[in-house]
Amino acid sequence: MAKIVKNKLGNFLAICLILLMVAGWIFSGWPQVWHDPPFPPKVEDVHATTRTIEQQINIIDQEYESEVLGSYKPTDNSLGLIRWDSAKYPGAVVYFEAVAMVFAETDTVKVALFSSDGTQVANSEVTHSSAGNYTRVRSSALTLGTLPNLQSNTDYSVRVKAVNDWVSLKAARLIIVQSDGTKITDTVTQIEAGDNQSTTATSGSPSTLANPNYYMFDKDMFSGTYGTDINAYFEASLKASAILSAAAYYFNAYDSGTAWTNAPAQMVDGSTSNFAVTGGSDENQRNTASTCDATCGAKSETITKVELRVYACQDNADNGWITLTPYFSGSSQGDGHTWSAVPDGNSCETGVAAWSPYFDITSDTNAPGTWGWSDVENLDVNVFGDRQGGADVIHAAQVDIQVTYEPGTTSTAYAELYNRTNSAVVGNSTISVNSTSWTRVRGASALNSSDNWDITNDDEYEVRIYSSSGSDAAYIANAKIVIEQSISGGIDKLETVHQYNNTLVSLGGDVVTVYAQLTISGGAAISGSKQSTGSGSYTRLRSSGLTLSTNDFDVELSVNDSAYTEQGFMNKYDSTNWVGGTFVYLFETILKNVVTVREDSSTSWLIIQISGLASIIATTTIGDGTDPSDSTVAPESGITDLDAVTFVTNTGTDSITAVTVTLGAGDSDNLSEVRITNDNGLTTYFSAISSPSSDTLNFSGGTPIPVTASSTQFKVRITPETHANMPAPQGAEYAITGTITAFTSTNTQAGTDTGSAMITIDNLSPNNATSTSGSVTSDTEITINWTTSNSTDYNRSIVLRWQASLPGADVPAEGTNYSLDDTIGGAKVACVENTGTSSTAYSGVDGSGADECSTTALSVGTQYSYKHFEKDDNGNWNTGFTNASSPLTTTGGATLTFSISDNDIFFGDLSASASKWADNTADGSTTAVVAHTLAASTNVTNGYTITVNGTTLTSGGDTIIAMASEAILTTGQEEFGLRITASGGNGTVDADYDNSPADSYALITGNFPDVIATDADGDDVSTTYSLYYAANITANTEAHTDYTSSLTYVATGNF
């Protein structure tokens, strides 16, 4: 791939050849990783004993170009400072790495790590001679120890040099590869948040970085407790400006042997009105002392600049020059500084003379490396009047020395971390420096989690800087968010970043949308890494997870999503440095669209999210197996699976020597045994526990459970109690649960058996039979009717018979089925229904064998009682329900009982003006009364019928008319009638005599013998009938004293 790169000679085409170097990292416990199926994109999950990660510390936040010949520069640490603390990176191998370019074909660039005091770190120097190409070069492993080795708790910077020409340095970083056989307990993630910049902004309006690095902190990416295991700090490399003063002196003595021709003393008399004047040729005057000589000896301030100027003019327009040449220590000649614009004019001393500009002699040839006040005292100057071939003279009145110095005070440079999400400064983040030397400074306290360092939300942060003085600049070279983790048991999660461009890079073009993506240096772009924006403000953009392989990677930009340009900030991803965890790779960049002009990117980096790094401790883990389905079982139904669990080790094998099973409250009362077996139930581990007396069961002894690295399922199995040992009917349903809540093993225990099946032991009796009744069918048979239980698990019914008026206490045995004529205590099984159909009506004849009832004939004239029992599918009988018609007595020959309370009743005298009623008194009654009663009962199957026969009231040939239909009495009308009411038993009055409507009477002689009452069921229960007789006469009714009626009542059994 062709790359366009910039150098001092212009543009040229450089073809990059990439040499792939493969090195093996040999360590104990090389992980065996199975990639079938291959790892999914975005996540690389490696399981190994050894843990390896790669941290990086970015140093430089600028592209540094300079002509640095022969010696390393810069020497002032202006490329940024970092801190190395070996205690924070246990198990580390450290390398120094740089990305640099040399311009000349025959030149060599060298880059090295230096301590802040200027000591070059041994073996850190990296070199290459590939002109015109940015190249990433890495040192061998640095030796840890004391300087010149990599000394802990020391600040470091980077310096660069070339032999013949200019160099460019784009990146410099420490590579820290941490590795441990079991766990990584400490590490530090350093996120580059700064940029090389200065500002005169003050605290009232701090300056955000012109090219910011936005970082989103996500606490969930770091395992541990903030403030204990995790602490974050803010640090930066800062420099303040000196508050400068200036002192002015003038030369007040000269060397008479080297002087201008005319009045040379007037150049050193301190007056700008008196002038020395050259003669007829070009002349030199050596001024040898100054007013500093009398006062400077006591001064100690640091000199930053020394300058010279002259007050002069020239006659006419001869274009003469004055050249000032300093002499250091009176003898070492400096550079000549020529004023070619000496003002000219006639009589130039009046109104024409002027001061020259100041000429800076601080760094002249042979000037002192560091100026002291004695150097100013010992300073001479040669004033050369050069007429440039003209005929007129040059006039000079005074030569001044101006000394700029630091009077011992400086401004203060500040930096702070700013929460962009909350628009607030982060507590404990403000740091400051009041030195004019570059200084790395870190906040004394960890960032305050209660003051805008948000450990609950994913907030975005940036750096702001300001100065204590609006006239003095504050400088920043780099800045870091430093996240320290320390967990003795091993760090499990962290997030780190590997930097690409660490400062502003731009790509010109007619821009609408800007693009950036991660690419293999000199190769293909990484799928899924492309990010874009049309925003005119810097915007942080992040990809989803990426799939990476070992390669040098770089960021490339595009203004049209077609042509992409790499930016030359190569950084190597090495898969061998990421072992023993799960690694997610994300590309992030900050872009801005300067519309129609260019694309800007202030930073790009690879974010690496790491999890699963915790120490490998030999662990046996319990987990949920495939639990059996919930089910319902019967008492004494045999062994049943209750719970399934898995055991697995993370390494090697283990043996479980004890297990605790915890049952639900009270569950042990209903179990006859609990055991632990293999998945097929053929091997029992430990000793089964019979008749458990507690819901907490501790298994031990016998065969232990073997555990391997392959997950294996085991079972907890239960046996319900027998029916005999379960609670008596009606009973209940008992829901059994149980899990393994503890186990003993050689390995550390982990995991949880979260649940089991629910095995319901059904000891609950079904509901009773309903709609029970019975009737005597014959001398030896009784019909029994019932509707089976409505319970969904109904299975069968039996009807027990006792030869008694009440059922006995006998009940069927739980779990037992019965046949007809079986004996249960003092009862016999009279009927059996075993179709299992619930809520179904049945009718059977006990004594005939009809419909599942007994064929054994019943005894004649014997009383029997019956009780119904229902059983469910799980063998539970209910407590029984007495037949609603019980007891029932078989017939012993037909019987009919019929009686009358009084045979003679009387009306007394009848009247045409009032009704009379008969009673057992001679005068009768003037109100309705019962004349007499009839009582009837029978055991005949179809009951009885009562009829009346006879005559109406008669005297000789005269009669009182009988009422031919039921009607209410009418006074003054001739009538004779009967009405009847019934009580007790099941007897009913015929409709013609039943007092309907009320107080109505009839005596239908036309129907004689006429039915007056019936009883249809033959239950042998007596019914009493009350009879009312009423009579009325007219005024014309024949008078007699002997009206009589003879009525005969007959009760007949119905067979």
Q: Could you please report the per-residue DSSP string of 91-126?
A: TEEEEEEEEEEE-STT--EEEEEEETTSPBPTT--E
- Strand-pairing partners, residue 828, are 801, 823
pLDDT at residue number 32: 25
pLDDT at residue number 317: 63
First to last CA, the chain: 121
Which two tokens mark 858? 């019943």
Q: Supply φ then ψ for residue 267, to 5 degrees.
A: -80, -15
Domain with CATH 2.60.120 in the chain: 207-242+409-486, 245-406
Look at the chain and count its residues.
1055
Number of Cβ atoms within 10 Å of the Cβ of 758: 17
pLDDT at residue number 884: 95
Which two tokens mark 721? 């109690």
Mind giving me the DSSP string for 699-730?
Answer: EEEEEEEEE-SS-EEEEEEEEEPPGGGSPPTT
Dihedral sign from CA coordinates of 422, 424, 426, 427: negative
Cβ atoms of 343 and 353 within 8 Å: the answer is yes
Specify the pairing of strand 135-138 against strand 92-102. antiparallel
- Quote the strand ranges of 420-458, DSSP E: 424-425, 431-433, 439-442
Residue partners of 396: CB distance under 8 A and separation at least 6: 260, 267, 275, 276, 277, 285, 310, 311, 312, 322, 383, 385
- Strand-pairing partners, residue 604, are 589
Q: Which helix (H) or strand (E) holds 188?
A: strand 186-192
What's domain 245-406's architecture? Sandwich (2.60)
Separation in Å, CA 386 to CA 274, 323, 345: 20, 8, 16
CATH code for the domain defined by 207-242+409-486: 2.60.120
Cβ atoms of 966 and 996 within 8 Å: the answer is yes
User: Which residue type occupies 611?
Assistant: S
Radius of gyration of the chain (CA): 61
Q: Which helix (H) or strand (E) holds 21?
A: none
pLDDT at residue number 37: 31
Give pLDDT tens digits for 444-496. 999 988 899 999 889 999 999 999 988 889 999 999 999 999 998 889 999 99
The three-state secondary structure class of 670 is: helix
Number of Cβ atoms within 10 Å of the Cβ of 561: 12
- Answering whether pTM is above 0.85, one says no
pLDDT at residue number 50: 80
Dihedral sign from CA coordinates of 1011, 1012, 1015, 1021: negative
CA dist., res. 792 & res. 580, Å (int) = 58
CA dist., res. 927 & res. 1029, Å (int) = 11
CA dist., res. 283 & res. 277, Å (int) = 9
Number of Cβ atoms within 10 Å of the Cβ of 354: 15
Specify the pairing of strand 631-633 against strand 759-762. parallel
CA dist., res. 355 & res. 836, Å (int) = 128
The three-state secondary structure class of 269 is: coil
Q: Which residue has 């698990």 as its token pair?
A: 793
Dihedral sign from CA coordinates of 116, 120, 123, 125: positive
CA dist., res. 994 & res. 976, Å (int) = 16
CA dist., res. 925 & res. 938, Å (int) = 34
Give pLDDT tens digits for 175-226. 999 999 888 999 999 999 999 999 999 998 999 999 999 999 998 999 999 9
Number of Cβ atoms within 10 Å of the Cβ of 569: 24
CA dist., res. 955 & res. 576, Å (int) = 141
Q: Which residue has 């011992």 as its token pair?
A: 408
Written in H, E and C, the secondary structure of 891-915 is CCCCCEEEEECCCCCECCCCECCEC
Specify the pairing of strand 302-314 against strand 394-406. antiparallel
- Burial classification of residue 335, based on how many CB atoms lie within 10 Å of its CB (0-12 exposed, 13-18 middle, 19 or more buried): middle
Cβ atoms of 332 and 379 within 8 Å: the answer is no
Specify the pairing of strand 748-751 against strand 619-624. parallel
The three-state secondary structure class of 634 is: coil
CA angle 429, 433, 436 (to 5 degrees): 155
Tell me the helix, strand and coil percentages in the chain, rounded to 5.
5, 45, 50
Nearest to 1023 by CA among 978, 988, 979: 988
Cβ atoms of 583 and 44 within 8 Å: the answer is yes
Nearest to 144 by CA among 169, 177, 118: 177
CA dist., res. 928 & res. 332, Å (int) = 166
- Strand-pairing partners, residue 155, are 83
Q: How many helices (H) and strands (E) does the chain have?
A: 2, 78
CATH code for the domain defined by 78-170: 2.60.40
Q: Which residues of 593-622 are buried (b: 16+ CB within 10 A; e: fewer)?
A: beeeebbbbbbbbbbbbbbebbbbeebbbb
Domain with CATH 2.60.40.10 in the chain: 770-889
Which two tokens mark 139? 């040192």
Cβ atoms of 287 and 251 within 8 Å: the answer is yes
CA dist., res. 60 & res. 876, Å (int) = 86
Domain spanning 619-762: which CATH class is it, in words? mainly beta
Q: Supply φ then ψ for residue 538, to 5 degrees.
A: -60, 130
CA dist., res. 482 & res. 442, Å (int) = 9
Where the chain has pLDDT below 50, the residues are 1-48
Q: Which residue has 């033959």 as its token pair?
A: 1018
Which two tokens mark 850? 């009809």
What is the DSSP secondary structure assignment for residue 373, as one 8-state letter?
A: H
Fold of 770-889: Immunoglobulin-like (2.60.40)
Specify the pairing of strand 654-663 against strand 696-707. antiparallel
